[in-house]
Structure 1
Amino acid sequence: MALLPDDSPTNAAEFTVSELSGSIRRTVEDAFGHVRVRGEISGYRGPHSSGHAYFSLKDDRARIEAVIWKGTFSKLKHRPEEGLEVIASGRITTYAGSSKYQIVIDSIEPAGAGALMALIEERRRKLAAEGLFDEARKQLLPFMPSVIGVVTSPTGAVIRDILHRIEDRFPVHVIVWPVRVQGDTSGDEVARAISGFNALGAGGPIKRPDLIIVARGGGSLEDLWGFNDEAVVRAAAASDIPLISAVGHETDWTLIDHASDRRAPTPTGAAEMAVPVKADLEAQIAGLGARLKSAQSRVLDRRRETVRGLARALPTLDSVLALPRQRLDRSGQGLGQALQINTSNLRRGFERHASRVTPIALVSAIREKRQTLNDKPVRAERALERRFERIRTRFDRHAMVLASVPRRIAETQIQSRGRLEQLVRRGDTALGQLITQHKRALSAQERMLKSLSYQSVLGRGFAVIRTQDRSLMSRAEQAQSGEMIGIEFADGEISALVSSTGGPAKSPRKPARQKSTKSSSKAEPGQGSLF
């Protein structure tokens, strides 16, 4: 049997890759229009930055890629979680970019009640690890709140039971935040309601509640699923207002019960926890008032008996004044005799002093005083003479000092004149040396300038070409036919006209301008370097 050559014609149809991928996609989508797939979520890392979610569904023998578009993801009742067994509904399609088939999911639900309980347990452990269920975070309920906020459905029996129980026990102001307590959006609405109550200001048009009650009647696990939402749990844990959860019956437990400050078995029980019984409080106040009056009476009686006992122990007025009166009488009796003795003592002292005052003693005292008075002018004159002598001595000393001042001034002037002449000589020498140094530096810079100047290069046969606007022309292609240019040589500058052949023609209209190489004018800006 002979083999056909490679380029032999064949009847097989020829497809492009895109055509083949599109045909396979249509075949798969026609064969599997809508399917329900049960499997475990694998590789889920949350929504992509585009809003779409990509993961896989697997069992013990196979796996299939899955995708949830952004519009569908926001409407899901149950969000995908890593390791959760779910039942996904959608359609099978292919992805031509990697030659894979995948399921585009429209809805997703946990695979049975056991999966829901496993999901709740997994979420409970996660939130508990963050400390949202710690007892230390829970707040005490106010004893007598003035405003109570209730988060529940406004059309159910729960709100009527709560209002009726509060009205019976202790009527207070109740604010109802209406929400859906069942369905896809119930969790988000309850979370927003709790956050909304916490956001109310103290002086706003709506009073800020002192207590929040989140309530719902009984139901199945799926009915109560909104209160297991992570957003609800976080909102309850972050609430600054004390919160009571009353979701379902006494045997029903949701995750909000762990995060709330108190859990009530029923909505009616939550109302009983929220407010006390007014009649009981009034009876308690009446009893306390009676006890207070009785205690006050007993205290007054005891104080009255104490005062009476103290009054009996006080002495009488006669007994208090008896001793001072006796001392006064005794002092009055001895007063006359004491006056006589004092008068006798004073008389004896006067007589003793009078015996000392005689004419002879007075004359002697006057003579002593007169002698002392006569001696004082002589003593004053001698003191004045001694002071005058000291002043004259000091004056002579100062006069000698003043006499020597001109001589010292002359000596100082001579010394200063000598120092000044010396400084002048030193200044002249230093100035001459400085001028010499500057002349040397200036000569060196002048030599450097001449060596670097382009004019020294012109002396070796080079020239500088400039356009009419005095800009340098470094390339032949810059010259245009018929254009006037300037050519600078070492001994001057001429004008030339560019001919069509590119050779310059001397122009008789502009005479040559002589330019000395030793000109002190500054070089044109932008002259560049010719080295």
Structure 2
Amino acid sequence: MAPSLLDDSPTNAAEFTVSEISGSIRRTVEDAFGHVRVRGEISGYRGPHSSGHAYFSLKDDKARIEAVIWKGVFSRLKYRPEEGLEVIATGKITTFPGSSKYQIVIEEIEPAGAGALMALLEERRRRLAAEGLFDEARKQLLPYMPKVIGVVTSPTGAVIRDILHRIEDRFPVHVIVWPVRVQGETCGEEVSSAIAGFNRLVPGGPIARPDLIIVARGGGSLEDLWGFNDEAVARAAAGSDIPLISAVGHETDWTLIDHAADRRAPTPTGAAEMAVPVKAELQAQVAALSARLKGAQSRVLARRQEGLRALARALPTLDSVLALPRQRMDRTSAALGKALVFNTANRRRRFEQQAARISPAALLSAIREKRLTLADRAARGARAHERQMERRRALVERQARVLAGTPRRLGEIVTRGLLRSQDGSRRAADAVRRSLDRRRTHLAAQARVLQSLSYQSVLGRGFAVVRDADRRPVSRAEEITSGALISIEFADGEVSALANSSSAATLQAKRPVRPRAARPGEPGQGDLF
């Protein structure tokens, strides 16, 4: 018979909690392995976690182990982990009780040989080149004669002494040294910070802002120069607003900063030679140019003087220059008198033509036309006024007939109609009166002009008009025959006379002076209206 499930089955096996089992396994693993070096390929690396720790895996073709780098250790690493990189990790094996996994806590990491470093460097170079950091189009030109040079290097090495000595020999300028480590774990971070620090300096500040930056280091192995292959260094060099010369290692050594810099120098001394020209050569060149300038100026002045002398010989004398103007002046002065006489005659002829146009007969004709026009307009105005009154009266009568059923309204309408009619009549009369006034004023002005032009105004100054028997004016004594009857008109009347043989008028019968009356066909004042 099978034992019941409720029966207690005593056993000799000890009971452990989960935590006890996990702790025992952890101690066993740590005691068995301690510190180890594990070679494998980094897999699943996504950069540091928000906490600062890094989590990834190390694998080969058959197995996989979890790895962790604590935040304090990660900041001190000489080589940072990258996805797919084969590395040798040094640390201790332990377990993680929360998921029953074992893992390696890495304390140091390095690429698995020079081949791995070169592969990492080549992969990093291709990636940065794809971003355009190494393009020639974005590189700046070096200043020809910088006033301040910034040098990023170790202050204790031979490199800075070579640079300072070479600059002093060629062209002494102000040099600012930013001390950095050129080898080791913090090299890349210090170099990139130095480049950014030079770019943050303000022009005219307490520390002069460099016109040129030199990043220099002596030769060494790939591992020694690895800090200058840091991605941060390459980006800082490519983003520098100040032109930058890379002088890292020997001529055969290439780092990422060499590709990102504006210029690469084979050696630190070569960088100093690129940075500044030779002062003695500049002085000699300036002296040669000055001598050439003086010679050119002398030759130009000599040519100008020769040309000036030739022009002076070609200039005419003062008499020959003034001969033609003098001749023209003489001819003009000789013709001036004739021109004045001719011009006066032309002016007199034009004046006579204008005077003939404003004769008394023409003015009388114009006045008659104005009178006729005025009379016609007055008649038309009167007729228009009558027609308007008739229309108003008819309109009032029609309205009166329409509103016959409403006496009160009819009376008001009729009253308003009569008022409008009276007002229109008054306005029409005023308009006719104003028009007549304007016409009278215009006619009075014309009459005054006629009076001023009439010969009768001349008689008042002591002149007289002589007429023959046919009442024609006589202007010459030779036109009067002896014994002819003539009439003489004065300002206050006329007298008759007989002409004697000596062409003198003899008074035959003295008549009382009578006022002159206008005869038909003769001009007179008459009634202006």
TM-score (normalised: structure 1): 0.66
Q: Where do residues 218-297 of structure 1 align in structure 2 (5 Å cutoff)? A: 218-297=219-298
Note if 1:395 corresponds to 2:385: yes
- Residues 1:5 and 1:89: Cα distance change in structure 2 (over 3 Å): farther
Deviation at 1:391, TM superposition (A): 2.6
Distance in 2, matches of 1:374 and 1:316, equals: 71
Q: Where do residues 387-466 of structure 1 align in structure 2 (5 Å cutoff)? A: 387-410=377-400
Distance in 2, matches of 1:39 and 1:173, equals: 51
Deviation at 1:102, TM superposition (A): 1.2
- SS at 1:289's partner residue? helix
Aligned to 1:168: 169
Aligned to 1:361: none
Distance in 1, matches of 2:172 and 2:406, equals: 111
Aligned to 1:58: 59
Aligned to 2:410: none
Q: Where do residues 500-519 of structure 1 align in structure 2 (5 Å cutoff)? A: none
Aligned to 1:179: 180
Deviation at 1:188, TM superposition (A): 0.8
Aligned to 2:190: 189
- Residues 1:380 and 1:310: Cα distance change in structure 2 (over 3 Å): closer
- SS at 1:270's partner residue? helix
- Residues 1:379 and 1:201: Cα distance change in structure 2 (over 3 Å): closer
Deviation at 1:43, TM superposition (A): 2.3
Aligned to 2:517: none
Distance in 1, matches of 2:324 and 2:365, equals: 69
Distance in 1, matches of 2:205 and 2:402, equals: 94
Distance in 1, matches of 2:11 and 2:263, equals: 81
- SS at 1:115's partner residue? helix
Distance in 1, matches of 2:264 and 2:91, equals: 40
Distance in 2, matches of 1:236 and 1:53, equals: 28
Distance in 2, matches of 1:267 and 1:375, equals: 117
Structure 1 stretch displaced more, 99-108 or 228-237: 99-108
Task: Report the RMSD for the aligned CA atoms in angstroms.
Answer: 3.7
Deviation at 1:303, TM superposition (A): 2.0
Q: Give per-residue Cα distances to partners, 1:362-418, cap 9 Å, x unaligned.
A: xxx9xxx7888888887776655444322321221122123234345557768999x
| Structure 2: runs of 5 or more not aligned | 350-355, 408-529
- Residues 1:402 and 1:235: Cα distance change in structure 2 (over 3 Å): same
Aligned to 1:453: none
Structure 1 stretch displaced more, 311-320 or 26-35: 311-320
- SS at 1:118's partner residue? helix
Aligned to 1:214: 215
Aligned to 1:42: 43
Note if 1:105 corresponds to 2:95: no
Deviation at 1:16, TM superposition (A): 2.9
Deviation at 1:31, TM superposition (A): 0.9
Deviation at 1:221, TM superposition (A): 2.0
Paired AA for residue 71 in structure 2? K
Paired AA for residue 379 in structure 2? E
Distance in 2, matches of 1:413 and 1:376, equals: 54
Deviation at 1:222, TM superposition (A): 1.9
Distance in 2, matches of 1:400 and 1:72, equals: 123
Paired AA for residue 253 in structure 1? W
Deviation at 1:144, TM superposition (A): 0.6
Paired AA for residue 19 in structure 1? E
Note if 1:15 corresponds to 2:16: yes
Deviation at 1:60, TM superposition (A): 3.1
- Residues 1:408 and 1:168: Cα distance change in structure 2 (over 3 Å): farther
Distance in 1, matches of 2:379 and 2:125, equals: 117
Distance in 1, matches of 2:406 and 2:236, equals: 96
Distance in 2, matches of 1:296 and 1:100, equals: 91
Distance in 2, matches of 1:27 and 1:102, equals: 14
| Structure 1: runs of 5 or more not aligned | 354-364, 418-531
Paired AA for residue 389 in structure 2? A
Paired AA for residue 15 in structure 1? F
Distance in 2, matches of 1:281 and 1:414, equals: 123
- SS at 1:404's partner residue? helix
Paired AA for residue 89 in structure 2? A
Paired AA for residue 57 in structure 1? L
Structure 1 stretch displaced more, 107-116 or 385-394: 385-394
Distance in 1, matches of 2:245 and 2:157, equals: 19
- Residues 1:54 and 1:374: Cα distance change in structure 2 (over 3 Å): closer
Distance in 1, matches of 2:83 and 2:224, equals: 23
Aligned to 1:31: 32
Q: Give per-residue Cα distances to partners, 1:12-38, cap 9 Å, x unaligned.
A: 222233322221111101111111112
Q: Give per-residue Cα distances to partners, 1:65-88, cap 9 Å, x unaligned.
A: 211122221221111112222111
Deviation at 1:166, TM superposition (A): 1.6
Note if 1:312 corresponds to 2:302: no
Distance in 1, matches of 2:294 and 2:143, equals: 29
Q: Give per-residue Cα distances to partners, 1:110-169, cap 9 Å, x unaligned.
A: 122222222212211111121111111111100011111111122222222222222222
- Residues 1:249 and 1:335: Cα distance change in structure 2 (over 3 Å): closer
Aligned to 1:458: none
- SS at 2:141's partner residue? coil
- SS at 2:51's partner residue? coil
Distance in 1, matches of 2:329 and 2:292, equals: 58
Distance in 2, matches of 1:376 and 1:132, equals: 102
Aligned length: 393
Distance in 2, matches of 1:71 and 1:150, equals: 31
Q: Give per-residue Cα distances to partners, 1:188-225, cap 9 Å, x unaligned.
A: 11111111111222232222211111112222222221
TM-score (normalised: structure 2): 0.66
Aligned to 2:449: none
Q: Where do residues 346-361 of structure 1 align in structure 2 (5 Å cutoff)? A: none
- SS at 2:123's partner residue? helix
Q: Give per-residue Cα distances to partners, 1:336-369, cap 9 Å, x unaligned.
A: 9x999x99x99xx9xxx9xxxxxxxxxxx9xxx7
Distance in 2, matches of 1:370 and 1:229, equals: 118
Structure with larger Rg? 2
Q: Give per-residue Cα distances to partners, 1:284-323, cap 9 Å, x unaligned.
A: 1111010001011111112222233333344455655667
Aligned to 2:124: 123
Deviation at 1:187, TM superposition (A): 0.8
- Residues 1:318 and 1:42: Cα distance change in structure 2 (over 3 Å): same
